[in-house]
């Protein structure tokens, strides 16, 4: 230990020692950065990095050694043999390459220890190869104990450095620990090895004239070191910049919509989180959140195709972004729905002005190559002025206001208010209660007669659903059916209706048909046909007695799938009726393409048909169309004798409505369906 301290303090120039230490620190930091990357990268990137990391690490070891050697002043003439000097650099580079290759490719937890051990051996091998190039007027003798100690220090500290290096590194602090240990490995190995030297002078031994002097060696080492470190620094800088660019690109891709270039839902989530912090910090700060939904956009996709829909979205998004002012932003959160945020306003009029600008931008015609399209917009607004200060809550309230605007075509921009909140909470409660209604046996089926017009005899029943809520009482189907369809609960409810209606019909003495409405959400279920077959098998109902009523909306949504399902149903004997004919997109092509067994004219056309010429024309046209296609027609909503007389005169095949009685509960229905064929039917009001 005394010899080591004496060597460092008495036989070295402090200035050169400091330079050697500085280069060792810089080189070690670069080496740790580049070598550590080998555990993170894969493929070609790792292959390219491996030789560069080996060159930097080897050059760091070599330059530290020889700069420290130029700092060493033994007090006699000395020099460096050129070939061995160059060989020592080669030893350092090749050994470092081997150490880094072990770190990069050797599997298992022991790989860093192996790599660090090879690094320590490389430092030792380079040191003692370089010492062989050290020429003095005499003979060098070595203290084997000090030599062994130097090698052990290099191997031990090298292994520790690589173990630390193999751990996940974050920032400069993550690299500083293994770099400092690497510096200790190089420096302690070097100075311990230098303390092992003893020179036996011999006047007969001359230093060869063709050797490298201290000054020449210093210039050579500085030049080689500067070139290699500059290459390493440039490489690291390029790497960092490329990673920053790649990170920015990935972040932009993750937070922006690829179709429109707008910020997306993830960006909005981050924005709302940051906005909440600002609102909490400053109670006077204001913001408004708007939910925007395009009207008639689905029709654009259905009629002109999705490419036209995408073009409309891009155009509308660009217009809205062009109308953004200071403190304003618009994001696309999915489909045809957008969210806008405005900050820093003083009066509500500024928010409304922003909403009107966006609305005006949206409703302008979109000119494509062959057609000019127009969509509308419904905008809901919630602000911190009246609706709370939680951005997430404001977003929900603006969504509620948007749906209110959507339900009223004359009010495209709607502000949130307490009444909307009440309705929203009520809707949420209805959804919750609907989820429990089937299990709690709250649903009830009622039955409306269907009568043949020529005989006025019953031919079947349409099944209608009623909900007996334990607290609300009887809930209107007009209230809960749309909510069930919107939330998807109609699938489970519809399955219950189908099973219960088939079970009930299987008990009737008279083979009346049973008509059941099928929601669009049921038709798109992959297992729908199998479910119907299972119910028929379970209940034993003749498939020919089951009539499924399909709305036109079910057909328009997915014509190919609906047609496939209808053919499967008909193949097992089930009949299909088109419900509410005339209220949607009814066309001759639809009736020709789909295998309907019945057309049901909507009640809105039957009411007062005997005294409304326009309704009469529609009903006559439908009856003529049914006759031409050989499809029976049933008229719904018959309430008075004059309506019945008109339909009979126009050769309508069957009718249903209050004229024959209101929808009846199960017991009243059984009085008709379970009566012997010889008994008279009672049902005409």
Residue position matching structure tokens 């090698």: 151
Cβ atoms 93, 54 nearer than 8 A: yes
Tally of CB atoms within 10 A around 391: 24
Least confident of 75-79, 421-425, 608-612: 75-79
Q: What are phi and psi of 367, to 5 degrees?
A: -90, 115
Long-range Cβ pairs for the range 197-201 (8 Å, 24+): 197/131, 197/140, 197/141, 197/142, 198/140, 198/141, 198/142, 198/143, 199/74, 199/76, 199/136, 199/138, 199/139, 199/140, 199/141, 200/138, 200/139, 200/141, 201/76, 201/137, 201/138
Residue 274 has pLDDT above 70, yes or no: yes
pLDDT of residue 658: 92
pLDDT value of residue 202 = 60
pLDDT for residue 678 is more than 70: no
Give the mean pLDDT of 399-408. Answer: 88
Q: pLDDT category, 4, cuts 50, 70, 90?
A: very low
Please tell me the distance from the alpha carbon of residue 461 to that of residue 664, in angstroms, as a whole number. Answer: 10
Per-residue confidence (pLDDT) for residue 170, from 0 to 100: 58
Note the maximum CA span of the chain: 144
What backbone torsions phi and psi does residue 409 show, to the nearest 5 degrees? -60, -25
Give residue-wise pLDDT tens across range 458-507. 999 999 999 999 988 999 998 899 889 888 899 999 999 999 999 999 99
pLDDT, tens digit, 9 for 90 and up, residues 115-147 = 889 989 998 888 888 888 777 776 777 888 888
Look at residue 664 in the predicted model and tell me its pLDDT: 94
Average pLDDT over residues 203-209: 57
Confidence of residue 636 (pLDDT cuts 50, 70, 90): very high
Q: What is the dihedral of CA 592, 598, 604, 610, to 10 degrees?
A: 100
By DSSP bridging, strand 376-383 and strand 372-373 are: unpaired
pLDDT at 33: 78
Give residue 133's Cα distance to chain centre. 63
pTM to 2 decimals?
0.56
Q: How far is CA 389 from the centre of its chain?
A: 27
461 neighbors 512 (Cβ within 8 angstroms)? yes
Distance of CA 662 to the CA centre of its chain: 50
Q: Contact 464/663 with Cβ under 8 angstroms?
A: yes
Q: Report the chain's mean pLDDT, rounded to a whole number.
A: 84
The pLDDT value recorded for residue 588 is 67
CA atoms within 13 A on the CB side of 173: 1
Q: At residue 422, does pLDDT exceed 90? A: no
Residue in 90, 116, 80 with CA at minimum distance from that of residue 207: 80
User: Lowest-pLDDT range, 147-151, 259-263, 588-592, 653-657?
Assistant: 588-592
CB proximity list for 317: less than 8 A, separation 6 or greater: 257, 259, 260, 261, 262, 330, 332, 338
> Concatenated DSSP letters for 96-132?
HHHHHHHHHH--STTHHHHHHHHHHHHHHHHHHHHHH
Highest mean pLDDT, choosing among 91-105, 200-214, 448-462: 448-462
Determine the 3-state secondary structure of 651 from DSSP: coil
Pairing of strands 287-295, 337-343: antiparallel
CB 509 within 8 A of CB 674: yes
* Phi (first) and psi of residue 383, to 5 degrees: -130, 160
Residues identified as active-site: 636
Q: How far apart are CA 145 and CA 575, in angstroms?
A: 101
CA distances from 25 to 173, 181, 183, 225 (A): 14, 10, 6, 13
User: Is residue 677's pLDDT more than 90?
Assistant: no
pLDDT beyond 80 at 317: yes
Q: What is the pLDDT at residue 587?
A: 60
User: 39 — phi, psi (to 5°)?
Assistant: -85, -10
pLDDT for res 684: 43
Measure the CA–CA gap between 391 and 339, rounded to whole angstroms. Answer: 12
Token look-up 């199998």 returns: 530
Q: How confident is the model at residue 526 (pLDDT cuts 50, 70, 90)?
A: confident
Q: Is the pLDDT confidence value at 583 over 70? A: no
Cα torsion for 260, 261, 264, 268, to the nearest 10°? Answer: -120
Confidence grade of residue 18 (pLDDT, cut at 50, 70, 90):
confident
Give me the mean pLDDT over the 273-277 stretch.
Answer: 92
- Residue 682 is predicted with a pLDDT of 46
- Asked whether residue 543 carries a pLDDT value surpassing 50, the answer given is yes
Helix (H, G, I), strand (E, B) or coil at 305: coil
Q: Which two tokens stand for residue 535?
A: 């119910």
The more confidently predicted of residues 560 and 279 is: 279
In the predicted model, what is the mean pLDDT of residues 509-526?
Answer: 91
The predicted structure's pLDDT at residue 52: 79
Could you tell me the pLDDT band of residue 3, with boundaries at 50, 70 and 90?
very low
Rounded CA separation 425/319 (Å) = 35
pLDDT score of 683 more than 80: no
> For residue 80, which phi and psi values (nearest 5 degrees)?
-135, 130
pLDDT class of 171 with cuts at 50, 70, 90? low
Contact 364, 347 (CB under 8 A): no
Mean pLDDT of 196-207: 65
Query: Residue 681 carries which DSSP code?
Result: P
26: pLDDT confidence band, cut at 50, 70 and 90? Answer: confident
Q: What is the pLDDT of residue 1?
A: 44
pLDDT above 90 covers a percentage of the chain that reads 36
pLDDT at 177: 85
pLDDT confidence of 275, banded at 50, 70, 90?
very high
Pick the closest to residue 178 from 166, 190, 189 (CA basis).
166
Range in 61-75, 381-395, 467-481, 492-506 the model is least confident about: 61-75
Distance CA 468, CA 476 (A): 9
Select the more confidently predicted residue: 625 or 232: 625
**What pLDDT is recorded for position 79?**
67
User: Quick check: 367 pLDDT over 80?
Assistant: yes
Q: Residues of the chain with pLDDT > 70: what percent?
A: 84
373-389 mean pLDDT: 91
């Amino acid at each position: 230990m005394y010899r080591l301290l004496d060597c460092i303090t008495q036989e070295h120039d402090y200035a050169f020692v400091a330079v050697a230490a500085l280069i060792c620190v810089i080189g070690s930091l670069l080496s740790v950065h580049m070598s550590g990357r080998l555990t993170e990268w894969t493929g070609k990137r790792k292959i390219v990095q491996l030789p560069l990391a080996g060159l930097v690490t080897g050059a760091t070891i070599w330059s530290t050694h020889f700069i420290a050697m130029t700092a060493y002043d033994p007090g006699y003439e000395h020099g460096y043999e050129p070939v061995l000097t160059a060989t020592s650099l080669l030893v350092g580079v090749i050994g470092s390459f081997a150490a880094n290759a072990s770190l990069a490719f050797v599997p298992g937890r022991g790989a860093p220890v192996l790599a660090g051990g090879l690094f320590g051996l490389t430092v030792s091998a380079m040191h003692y190869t370089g010492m062989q190039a050290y020429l003095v007027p005499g003979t060098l003798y070595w203290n084997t104990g000090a030599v062994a100690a130097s090698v052990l220090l290099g191997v031990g500290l090298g292994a520790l450095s690589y173990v630390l290096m193999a751990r996940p590194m974050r920032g400069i602090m993550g690299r500083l620990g293994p770099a400092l240990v690497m510096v200790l490995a190089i420096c302690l190995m070097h100075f311990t090895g230098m303390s092992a030297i003893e020179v036996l002078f011999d006047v007969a031994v001359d230093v060869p004239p063709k050797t490298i002097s201290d000054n020449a060696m210093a210039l050579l080492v500085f030049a080689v070191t500067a070139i290699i470190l500059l290459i390493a620094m440039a490489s690291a800088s390029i790497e960092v910049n490329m990673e920053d660019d790649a990170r920015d690109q990935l972040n932009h891709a993750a937070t922006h919509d690829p179709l429109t270039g707008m910020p997306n839902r993830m960006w909005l989530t981050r924005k709302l989180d940051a906005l909440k912090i600002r609102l909490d910090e400053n109670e006077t700060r204001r913001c408004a959140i708007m939910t925007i939904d395009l009207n008639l956009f689905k029709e654009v996709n259905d009629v002109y195709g999705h490419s036209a829909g995408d073009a409309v979205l891009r155009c509308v998004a660009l217009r809205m972004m062009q109308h953004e002012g200071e403190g304003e932003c618009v994001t696309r959160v999915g489909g045809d729905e957008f969210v806008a945020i405005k900050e820093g306003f003083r009066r509500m009029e500024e928010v409304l002005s922003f909403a009107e600008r966006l609305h005006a931008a949206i409703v302008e015609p979109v000119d494509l190559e062959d057609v000019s399209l127009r969509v509308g917009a419904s905008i809901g607004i919630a602000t911190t002025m009246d609706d709370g200060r939680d951005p997430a809550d404001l977003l929900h309230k603006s969504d509620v206001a948007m749906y209110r605007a959507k339900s009223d075509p004359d009010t495209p921009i709607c502000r949130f208010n307490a009444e909307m909140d009440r309705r929203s909470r009520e809707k949420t409660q209805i959804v919750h209660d609907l989820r429990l209604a089937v299990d709690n046996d709250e649903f009830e089926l009622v039955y409306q007669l269907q009568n043949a017009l020529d005989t006025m005899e019953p031919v079947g029943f349409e099944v209608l659903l009623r909900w007996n809520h334990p607290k609300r009482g009887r809930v209107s189907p007009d209230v809960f059916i749309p909510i069930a369809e919107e939330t998807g609960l109609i699938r489970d409810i519809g399955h219950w209706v189908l099973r219960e209606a088939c079970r009930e019909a299987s008990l009737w003495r008279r083979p009346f048909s049973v008509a059941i409405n099928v929601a669009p959400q049921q038709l798109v279920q992959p297992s729908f046909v199998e479910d119907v077959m299972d119910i028929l098998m379970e209940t034993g109902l003749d498939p020919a007695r089951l009539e499924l009523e399909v709305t036109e909306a079910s057909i328009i949504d997915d014509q190919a799938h609906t047609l496939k399902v209808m053919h499967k149903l008909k193949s097992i004997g089930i009949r299909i009726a088109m419900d509410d004919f005339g209220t949607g997109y009814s066309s001759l092509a639809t009736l020709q393409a789909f295998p309907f067994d019945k057309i049901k004219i909507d009640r809105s056309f039957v009411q007062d048909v005997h005294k409304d010429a326009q309704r009469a024309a529609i009903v006559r046209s439908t009856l003529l169309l049914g006759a031409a296609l050989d499809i029976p027609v049933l008229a719904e909503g018959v309430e008075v004798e004059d309506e019945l007389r008109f339909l009979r005169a126009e050769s309508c095949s069957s009718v249903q409505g209050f004229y024959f009685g209101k929808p009846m509960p199960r017991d009243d229905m059984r009085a008709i369906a379970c009566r012997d064929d010889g008994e008279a039917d009672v049902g005409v009001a």
